[in-house]
């Protein structure tokens, strides 16, 4: 049975657009009518997830619940969130909104176990909220995979690259933001990372597999492919 994909997005808008593009590019389709019906609820007014996790800001939960409700009522068969940090609130959303969610964290772990069964240590490039919440650390630790992030000074640079006035969320996907993210990735590799996880959905906008010498784990790519299958469609290639 084919299903409509519901995208709970806007966190940020460019990552949401990139995720939709991944769905389009990875769906086996030769004409418009063979693509997947997708409903996108992009709400950029959702309060900052990192601030909420660090107890410095308003909770995004009411906005996330509203978005999930809109998607359910609009006919989505299941929902995905192309925002890693928002998954901190996933259990509460699922408990209140009776609709299936695909977990970006769960699917990333399953992919990693399938493709890299010998992996023991992975470096994480993410927002400070995701890093402090332990979302990836806890999920991967169950399979005895150590996840570690940058040193404090480098993590501040990551936040600058993502959230700064000339950061990725402001539309800058070359120059300084790219240099920072690539430098941090290389630092993680020097510290023993056997793979690098794009723990923030903005990271793949500036970092690609060809930029680093170890496997690059891109949760958005993984989530897009699983979403296509869940919707009852075939993957391209």
Kindly report the three-state secondary structure assignment for every residue of the chain.
Answer: CCCCEEEEECCCHHHHHHHHHHHHHHECCCCHHHCCCEEEEECCCCCCHHHHHCCCCCCCHHHHHHHHHHHHHHCCCEEECCCCHHHHHHHHHHHHCCCCEECHHHHHHHHHHHHCCCCCEEEEECCHHHHHHCHHHHHHHCCCCEEECCCHHHHHHHHHHHHCCCCHHHCCCCCHHHHHHHHHHHHHHHCCCCEEEECCCCHHHCCCHHHCCCCEECHHHHHHHHHHHHCCCCECC
Active site residue 22: no
Catalytic site residue from 200, 205, 207, 217: 200
Active site residue 200: yes
Catalytic site residue from 83, 159, 168, 207: 83
Residues that are catalytic: 83, 200
């Amino acid at each position: 049975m084919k299903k409509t994909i519901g995208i709970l997005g806007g966190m940020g808008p460019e990552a949401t657009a990139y995720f939709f593009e991944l769905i389009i590019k990875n769906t086996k389709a030769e004409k418009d009518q063979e693509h997947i019906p997708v409903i996108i609820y992009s709400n950029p007014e959702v309060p900052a997830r990192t601030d909420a996790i660090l107890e410095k800001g308003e909770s995004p939960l009411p906005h996330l619940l509203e978005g999930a409700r809109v998607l359910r009522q609009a006919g989505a068969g299941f929902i995905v969130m192309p925002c890693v940090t928002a998954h901190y609130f996933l259990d509460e959303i699922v408990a209140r909104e009776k609709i299936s969610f695909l977990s970006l964290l769960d699917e990333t772990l399953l992919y990693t176990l399938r493709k890299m069964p010998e992996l023991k240590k992975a470096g994480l490039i993410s927002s400070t909220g995701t890093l402090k919440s332990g979302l990836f650390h806890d999920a991967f630790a169950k399979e005895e995979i150590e996840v570690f992030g940058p040193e404090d000074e480098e993590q501040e640079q990551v936040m600058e690259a993502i959230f700064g006035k000339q950061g990725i969320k402001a539309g800058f996907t070359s120059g300084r933001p790219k240099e920072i993210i690539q430098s941090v990735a290389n630092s993680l590799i020097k510290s023993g990372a056997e793979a690098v996880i794009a723990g923030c959905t903005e990271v793949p906008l500036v970092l690609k597999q060809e930029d680093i010498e170890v496997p690059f784990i891109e949760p958005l790519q993984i989530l897009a492919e699983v979403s296509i299958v869940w919707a009852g469609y075939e993957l391209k290639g």
